Amino acid sequence: MNEAQLRGLTPSVLGILVRRGADFAAAEDAVQDALVEAIRVWPTDPPRDPKGWLVTAAWRKFLDATRADAARRRREDIVDEEPAPGPTPGADDTLRLYFLCAHPSLTPSSAVALTLRAVGGLTTRQIARAYLVPEATMAQRISRAKRTVSGVRFDRPGDVATVLRVLYLVFNEGYSGDVDLAAEAIRLTRQLAAAIDHPEVAGLLALMLLHHARRAARTGPDGGLVPLAEQDRNRWDTRMIAEGVVILQAALARDRLGEYQAQAAIAALHADAPTAEETDWVQIVEWYDELVRLTDNPVVRLNRAVAVGEADGPRAGLAALATLDDSLPRHTAVAAYLHERDGDPTTAARLYAEAAHKAGNLAERDHLTRRAARLNAHR
Amino acid sequence: MAKYLLLKHYRGAPASVNDVPMDRWTPEEISAHLGYMNDFAARLKETGEFVDSQALTPQGAWVRYDGEGRPPVTDGPFAETKDLIAGWMIIDVDTYERAVELAGELSAAPGAGGKPIHEWLEVRPFMSASQHTIAE
Could you report the per-residue pLDDT of A94-149, keeping only the tens digit for each?
A: 888 999 999 999 999 999 999 999 999 999 999 999 999 999 999 999 999 999 99
Q: What percent of chain A has pLDDT over 90?
A: 77
Average pLDDT over residues A30-34: 94
Considering CB atoms only, which of A140, A144, A219 is closest to B131? Answer: A219
pLDDT band at A87 (very low <50, low <70, confident <90, very high): very low
Minimal Cα distance from B41: which residue of A? A137
Range of the domain at A62: 3-87
**Averaged pLDDT for residues A183-197:** 95
Output helix, strand, coil percentages for chain A, rounded to the nearest 5.
Answer: 70, 0, 25
Helix (H) or strand (E) segment spanning residue A103: none
pLDDT reading at A238 higher than 80: yes
How far is residue A35's CA from residue A13's CA, in Å, rounded to a whole number? 10
B66 in contact with chain A, both atoms CB, cutoff 8 A: no
Spans of all domains in chain B: 2-125
Burial code (b: 16+ CB inside 10 Å, e: under 16) for A182-211 equals bbbbbbbbbbbbebbebbbbbbbbbbbbbb
Is residue A343 scored above 90 in pLDDT? yes
Cis peptide before B27 (omega within 30 of 0): no
Percentage, residues of chain B above pLDDT 90: 74
Task: Give dist(CA A122, CA A66) in Å, integer.
Answer: 23
Q: How many domains does chain A have?
A: 1
| Residue bearing the bigger pLDDT, B23 or A69 | B23
CB A225, CB A219: distance < 8 Å = yes
Q: What is the mean pLDDT of residues B21-50?
A: 94
In eight-state DSSP terms, residue A117 is I
Q: Which residue has the higher pLDDT, A371 or A72?
A: A371
State whether residue B3 sits within 8 Å of chain A by CB.
Answer: yes
In a domain, A256, yes or no: no
pLDDT at A268: 98
pLDDT value for A74: 57
Report B:7-46 residues touching A (Cβ under 8 A).
45-46
Per-residue pLDDT, averaged over A210-230, amounts to: 92
Predicted confidence at residue B46, as pLDDT, reads: 95
Q: What is the mean pLDDT of chain B?
A: 91
Whether B135 shows a pLDDT value over 70: the answer reads no
Inter-chain touch B132–A132, beta carbons under 8 Å: no
Which of 71-130 (B) contact A at CB < 8 A?
92-94, 125, 127-130
Q: Which residues 342-361 on chain A approach chain B with CB closer than 8 angstroms?
A: 359-361
Residues A306 and A321: their CA atoms lie apart, in Å, by 8
The answer on pLDDT for B6 being more than 50 is yes
Q: What mean pLDDT comes out for the span A20-32? A: 91
Question: pLDDT at residue A59 above 50?
Answer: yes
The correct CATH number of B2-125 out of 3.30.70.1060, 2.60.120.380, 3.30.200.20, 2.60.40.10 is 3.30.70.1060
Contact predicate A263/A164, CB 8 Å: no
pLDDT tens track for B51-98: 999 999 988 888 999 999 999 999 877 776 678 899 999 999 999 999
Q: Does B51 contact A134 at a Cβ distance shorter than 8 Å?
A: yes
Residue B117 has pLDDT above 60, yes or no: yes
Residues of B in contact with A110 (CB under 8 A): 48
d(CA A201, CA A161): 9
- A88 pLDDT more than 60: no
Position A86 scores a pLDDT of 46
Q: What is the pLDDT of residues A271-288, one digit of tens each?
A: 999 999 999 999 999 999
What average pLDDT score do residues B101-117 get?
95
Looking at the predicted structure, is the pLDDT value of residue B12 above 90?
A: no
Residue A175 has pLDDT above 90, yes or no: no
Query: Is 50 exceeded by the pLDDT of residue A254?
Result: yes
Is pLDDT above 80 for A89?
no
Give the model's pLDDT for residue B75: 87
Please answer yes or no on whether B128 and A361 come within 8 Å at the CB atom. Answer: yes
Give the pairing of strands B2-11 and B122-125: antiparallel
- The predicted pLDDT at position A154 comes to 60
Provide the shortest C-alpha distance from residue B7 to chain A (in Å): 18
Which among A172, A303, A359 has CB closest to B132? A172
pLDDT tier for residue A158 given thresholds of 50, 70 and 90: confident
What is the per-residue pLDDT for A108?
Answer: 94
Residues of A in contact with B45 (CB under 8 A): 136-137, 140
pLDDT at position A151: 80
Total residue length of chain A:
379
Q: In this complex, do A171 and B132 lie within 8 Å of one another by their Cβ atoms?
A: yes
B47 contacts on A by Cβ (under 8 Å): 140-141, 144
Give the one of A107, A227, A361 whose C-beta lies nearest to B130's C-beta: A361
Q: Is residue A227 part of a domain?
A: no
CA atoms within 13 A of residue A339's CA, in its CB half-sphere: 19
What beta strand segments (E) does chain A contain? 175-176, 179-180
What is the per-residue pLDDT for A179?
A: 85
Of A75 and A119, the structure prediction assigns the larger pLDDT to A119
Residues in chain B with CB shorter than 8 Å from the CB of A142 are 48
Contact between A155 and A96 (Cβ < 8 Å): yes
Q: Is the pLDDT at A90 greater than 80, yes or no?
A: no
The pLDDT score that the predictor gives to residue A85 is 46
- Tens digits of per-residue pLDDT, A136-154? 999 999 999 999 998 887 6
Q: Exposed/middle/buried for A23, CB within 10 Å: 0-12, 13-18, 19+?
A: middle
Is the pLDDT at A334 greater than 90? The verdict is: yes
Q: Which residue among A140, A168, A171 places its CB closest to the CB of B48?
A: A140
